[in-house]
Amino acid sequence: MTEFDHSTDRLHSRSFSEAIKSGLAALSAALHTRLELFATELEEERERLKQTVLLTLLGIVGFSLGFILLIIFIVAVFIVNGWIVALGCLALFFLAIGVIAALMLRQKFLTRPGIFPATLAELGKDRDRLRSASHE
């Protein structure tokens, strides 16, 4: 072997190792970006869930106390005659509200978007880019 062959082998091995290093660096950067996006979306979901739970609890407490006081008021107004009819009508009214709320909640759960849509979209784009690059 000549000296030229040894230098050519070293040059090829160096360029190959540099290509692998740059490829790994690019892969690492892409993975880091996707993990940051995932963490951001996870934090947003957590905050949204906290707000939803808090507002739901406040709504339940407020409406419950308001409806109880309203029932007491209406029964007191009709205490002389018709208080049983007033209680029956109020019961039907509140049951209707409960059924409507349950149906709306069911619809909301059935039509909610998937979790972490931006992260999944970016990972899908990465997958498509890698597939198209491997076919070239």
**Which has the closest alpha carbon to 115: 42, 40, 49?**
42
pLDDT in tens, 22-77: 888 888 888 888 888 888 888 888 888 888 888 888 888 888 888 888 888 888 88
**Which comes out higher in pLDDT, residue 17 or 7?**
17
- In sequence order, which residues have a C-beta less than 8 Å from that of residue 74 and are 6 or more positions away? 86, 90
What pLDDT, on the 0 to 100 scale, is given for residue 26?
80
Determine contact, residues 78/86, Cβ cutoff 8 Å: yes
Number of domains in the chain: 1
What pLDDT, on the 0 to 100 scale, is given for residue 8?
58
DSSP type of residue 112:
P
Residue range of the domain that includes 20: 3-135
Instruction: Give the integer Cα–Cα distance in Å for 81 and 77.
Output: 9
Determine contact, residues 84/3, Cβ cutoff 8 Å: no
